[in-house]
A = this chain, B = another copy of it.
Amino acid sequence: MSSRSAGRGEGRPTLEAVAALAGVGRGTVSRVVNGAAGVSPRARTAVEQAIAELGYVPNRAARSLATSRADAVALIIPETETRLASEPFFASIIRGVASELSETELQLLLILVSTERERRRLAGFLDGRRVDGVLMVSVHADDPVAELVESTGLPTVLGGRRSELEPLSYVNSDNLGGAWSAVRHLLGLGRRRVATITGPLDMEASCVRLEGYRRALEEAGVAVESPLIAHGDFSEESGEEAMAELLGREPALDAVFCASDLMAAGAMRALRRAGRRIPTDVAVVGFDDSPLARHTEPTMTTVRQPSEEMGRAMARLLLEEIAAPGRSHRQIILSTDLVVRESA
């Protein structure tokens, strides 16, 4: 049903074969295939028939060579360790990107970069212009991979930004608002000793979430105390350690806002081990609303960020950027919302 005649790579019909069968020139066939104007109805039908008969499919390499377009975009995930697997966030991004791209002719190249070797390989790859644009998530402030991508001058869209003055286009979620509403929720519950576990501070999202925490506290007239702030790296283990640390410094804390669900899960574990009841003794709020949040015990109150939509928006932005290169860069902020469950 798919490839006619001998399925081998060699026998595949070319533009020329179609032209011959349809009794027209290559140019005409090309026009039909690419939906260009200026083809008589008669010629068009003849060509379409020939295409169907031969089962013609254009050779992308040849097209690429002639047009110097790649018809592909890369999604770069600089994943340290096992984050890809443990954080469904990435999977959602992938889904969003893929679904948006499926409307187009563009292919999606997935590039996981963790080692130095892979980074070098990426450099050559991008310089080889095998893609028309680049999507990149999980960017750290001085990420060499991001710099590499930026230096290629390819259309690029980031998921998240490196700093407030991010020169590249990006899609971000409202980290400030999300964190703020999480902490406000905690305060609304009457909690006053609210701690926070941040993500890695070389990621802007972490800083902004911390800032949201600060603002909510200040607005409520509650002092921001550094013993109530601990740092993690988004991983579950780091959340567990940070929580233990917090508990050691501030035994009286009655709530904690974690910059990721994974860390919140770790924190919950640490709290349980310390004999604290959740949420009675300590209320916990996470960030992401990953599937995990519905499986912790108690279920987790968390800030939902629309990760799939984020992937979609990234892809859309990239398409625009590819279509109109040089245009000034754009950014999209997606709103977050608090999902209240049992833990707070």
Q: Which residues of A contact B (CB under 8 A)?
A: 1-3, 7-10, 12, 55, 57-62, 64-65, 68, 70, 72, 75, 79, 82, 84-86, 88, 90-92, 94-95, 98-99, 102, 107-112, 115, 117-118, 121, 123-130, 148, 151-153, 265, 291-292, 295-297, 308
Contact = CB atoms under 8 A, between A and B. Distances in A.
A339 to B, nearest CB: 16
A59 to B, nearest CB: 7
A92 B112 CA distance: 12
Contacts of A129: 9, 12, 59
A57 B88 contact: no
A68 B9 contact: yes
Nearest to A92: B85
A110 B84 contact: no
A118 B102 contact: yes
Contacts of A108: 109-111
A206 B172 CA distance: 40
Contacts of A98: 110-112
Contacts of A9: 68, 129
Contact of A1 (B3, B10, B94, B148): B148
A86 B291 contact: yes
Contacts of A59: 65, 128-129
Contacts of A291: 85-86, 292
Contacts of A64: 61, 64
Q: Closest 5 A-B residue pairs measured CB to CB?
A: A297-B297, A61-B64, A7-B153, A98-B112, A61-B65
B153 A8 contact: yes
Contacts of A75: 110
Nearest to A127: B57
26 contacts: A1-B123, A1-B148, A2-B126, A2-B148, A2-B151, A7-B151, A7-B153, A55-B127, A59-B128, A60-B130, A61-B68, A64-B64, A85-B88, A85-B91, A85-B92, A85-B308, A86-B291, A94-B110, A94-B112, A98-B110, A102-B118, A102-B121, A107-B111, A108-B110, A291-B292, A295-B295
Contacts of A121: 102
Nearest to A62: B65
Given A1-B148, A292-B295, 5 more contacts: A3-B127, A7-B151, A7-B153, A88-B91, A94-B112
